[in-house]
Each structure stands twice: as C-alpha cells, then as structure tokens.
C-alpha cells in the first residue's frame, strides 16, 4: 500500500470526498457500490463486486431474486435431480 498523496478531513456525517482523479483512475462513478474492508489499522475501499452465494466466486455472476450465483453453480443446479 502506498499513499495517494491526498489528505482529506472527515465531515460531521463521517463522509470523505474522494478526489476526482482517484475516482477516474479507479472507475468509480456516482452511485457505484463501494465495499469497505478493514485490515489492521487500515480502511480499504474497493469497488463492490458481487460474489456467488454458494462458492464465493466473482466470475460470471448473475443476480437472481436479490442473490448472486455464478455460471458454474448455476450449471450444477440445473443438473440436480428433481423430486416430485
Ligand atoms: Zn458459485
């Protein structure tokens, strides 16, 4: 991890403005979900990428009924035997 060369103050509501240059560089647009991660004394921001509810994969994930499932798990599910 290296400093981005930016110091910002937290406002009354706990908000911090991310500099436009960083938003552009990391392709963060208005309304994009951002995940907050913590590691020791560090707070890390990451563009949110949905994970499969079954295996945790982030590849080929699609949304179904407010949950996310990857193509691999979806394929496995469609091959499950059906019970009457
Ligand atoms: Zn999966």
pLDDT tens digit string along 6-43? 899 999 999 999 999 999 998 899 999 999 999 999 99
> Would you say residue 35 lies in a domain?
yes
Q: Please give the tally of structural domains in the chain.
A: 2
Long-range contacts of 66-69 (CB under 8 A, 24+ apart): none
DSSP 80: S
Q: What are phi and psi of 74, to 5 degrees?
A: -60, -40
**Does any domain span residue 2?**
no
Q: How far is the CA of 63 from the centre of ligand 1 (A)?
A: 12
How is residue 7 annotated by DSSP? -
CB 71 within 8 A of CB 59: yes
Other CB atoms within 10 A of residue 17 CB: 10
**At residue 64, what are phi and psi to the nearest 5 degrees?**
-145, 120
Distance 7 CA to ligand 1 centre (A): 39
Give the distance (Å) from ligand 1 centre to CA of residue 35: 20
Residue 23 shares a structural domain with residue 43:
yes
CATH code at position 13: 2.10.260.10
Domain membership of residue 22 as a residue range = 7-48
Q: What is the pLDDT of residues 40-65, one digit of tens each?
A: 999 999 888 899 999 999 999 999 99
In the reported structure, the alpha carbon of residue 55 is separated from the centroid of ligand 1 by a whole-number distance in angstroms of 4
């Amino acid at each position: 991890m290296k400093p981005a060369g930016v110091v910002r103050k937290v406002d009354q509501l706990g908000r911090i403005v991310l500099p436009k240059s960083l938003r552009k560089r990391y392709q963060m647009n208005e309304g994009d979900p951002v995940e907050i991660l913590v590691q020791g004394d560090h707070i890390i921001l990451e563009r949110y990428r949905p994970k499969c509810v079954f295996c945790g994969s982030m590849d080929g994930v699609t949304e179904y009924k407010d949950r996310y499932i990857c193509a691999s798990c979806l394929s496995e599910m469609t091959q499950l035997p059906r019970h009457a």
